Amino acid sequence: MAICGVMRPGHCQLRVLDLEESEKFYTNVMGLQAMGRDASGRSYFKALDEFDHHSVVLRQADRAGMDFYGFKVRDAKTLDQLEADLKAYGVSTERIPAGELLETGERVRFKAPTGHTFELYAEKTKVGNGLGNLNPEAIIDGRKGISPVRLDHWQIHGSDLDGSRDLFINVLGFSLVERILMEDGKTDMAVWLSCSNKAHDIAFVRDERDDTLHHASYYLETWEQVLKAADILTIHRASLDIGPLRHGITRGTTIYAFDPSGNRFETFCGGYDYYPDMDTVVWTWDEIGRGIFYHTRELNERFLTVVT
C-alpha cells in the first residue's frame, strides 16, 4: 500500500492510577525509554526502536483507560486535507495547538461514532533510536525488560462499530482486512483495519460500552521474544490474561497481560503483509474461538469482559 495519508499509530494517552508505579512498570518491565514529564505532570515514553519523541503518554487519573489515540499523517498538507474531509463527512474537529504534547506539532482531534477520541498530527520531534543513520549497528545494545520495537495497534470497543468502520475506511483511507460476523451472518462483530502493509493498525469490536479500551499492542520481532516477554512478566509477577499462543485472525503470536492500573496490553509478533488488492478475510460466529485463539480454540471470560 502506498502510504500517502495516515501512516501509522503514533501515540496514545493512557490513564493510570499511580503514576510513579506505572513509570517503573513501563520502564523496567515493558522496557520503554522514559522521555520526561511535562508541566501538567504527564509522563512520556518511547520504544527504543521508535524514532519520534514518544508514543505512550501516562496521565494520573482516578480510573484506568485511554484518553485518546493519535495517528501520524504524511505531512501538514495531508493533515489539512484530512481535516477538510472529516468536516465534509459531518465530523466535528478541534485543532490542538503545537506544544500541548511535548515535542508535538498541531493536532486535529475528532470523536468516532464509538465514542473514542482520535487525533491526527504531522509533526513530532525526531530523536532517533540511538543507532544513527550513517553506518549504523544492527542491534540496540543494553535493552532491558520486554523492549518492544514499537507501539503497534489498538483494539477498542463501542456500540456503533459500523459508523467507526465506515469513517476510517471512507474518510481516512483504511482497508478492511479481516472481520468477524455475528450469528446472523451479516452484521460485523469485529473488524481489523489497516492504513499500511500490516495486517491491522486498529481493531473495533461491537460492545455496548462506548469509548473503552481492550488493549494496546506492542510489536516484537520474533516468537522467541514473545516467550521471553512471558518470562519477564512472570518474574515481575505482572497480572497475565492469556498466552503465549497464536491468533487465527492476522496469524500473529501473542501474550496478553495487565499493567498495574488494569489496562490490558499485548506483546505481538508476526501477522502477514497486507496489500489493498487482497480480499477481506471473513470469520463466522461458530469459528470465533479459533479465530481469536488458534491453539485453544475458545475464549476465556476475562478476555471477553474486561475493558478499561
Does the annotation mark 256 as catalytic?
Answer: yes
Question: What letter does residue 172 receive in the DSSP assignment?
Answer: T
If you average pLDDT over every residue of the chain, what do you get?
95
Helices and strands in the chain, H and E counts: 6, 17
Confidence of residue 243 (pLDDT cuts 50, 70, 90): confident
Q: Quick check: is 23 catalytic?
A: no
What pairs with residue 150 in β-bridges?
A: 219
Which one of the listed residues 53, 153, 157, 214 is annotated catalytic?
A: 153
Query: Which pLDDT does position 301 carry in this prediction?
Result: 82
Between CA 80 and CA 25 the distance in angstroms is 37
**Given the residues 121, 218, 219, 256, the one annotated as active site:** 256
Q: Which one of the listed residues 50, 121, 247, 274 is annotated catalytic?
A: 247
C-alpha distances (whole Å) from 101 to each of 73, 96, 150, 211, 277 are 16, 9, 19, 21, 37
pLDDT digits (tens, 9 = 90+) for 175-227: 999 999 999 999 999 999 999 999 999 999 999 999 999 999 999 999 999 99
Q: Is 153 a catalytic residue?
A: yes
> Which pLDDT belongs to residue 271?
87
Report the percent of the chain where pLDDT is more than 90.
88
What is the spatial distance between Cα 169 and Cα 49, in angstroms, rounded to a whole number?
Answer: 29
Catalytic site includes residue 301: no
> In the prediction, which pLDDT does 281 show?
93
Q: Is the pLDDT of residue 229 over 80?
A: yes
Q: With bands split at pLDDT 50, 70 and 90, how would you rate the model's confidence at 135?
A: very high
Q: Which of 54, 215, 218, 219 is catalytic?
A: 215
Is there a cis peptide before residue 136, judged by omega within 30 degrees of 0? no
Read off the C-alpha cell for 217.
499492542
Q: Are 226 and 267 in contact (CB under 8 A)?
A: yes
Compute the Cα dihedral for 303, 306, 307, 308 and give only its sign.
Answer: negative
The verdict on whether 54 is a catalytic residue reads no
pLDDT of 2 strictly over 60: no
Q: Cβ-count burial of 90 within 10 angstroms (0-12 exposed, 13-18 middle, 19+ buried)?
A: exposed
304 vs 210 pLDDT, higher one = 210
Q: Domains in the chain and their CATH numbers?
A: 6-121 (3.10.180.10), 150-305 (3.10.180.10)
What is the structure's pLDDT at 300? Answer: 81
Count the neighbouring beta carbons within 10 Å of the beta carbon of residue 144: 12
Catalytic residue among 54, 116, 200, 214: 200
Predicted confidence (pLDDT) per residue in 146-168, tens digit: 999 999 999 999 999 999 999 99
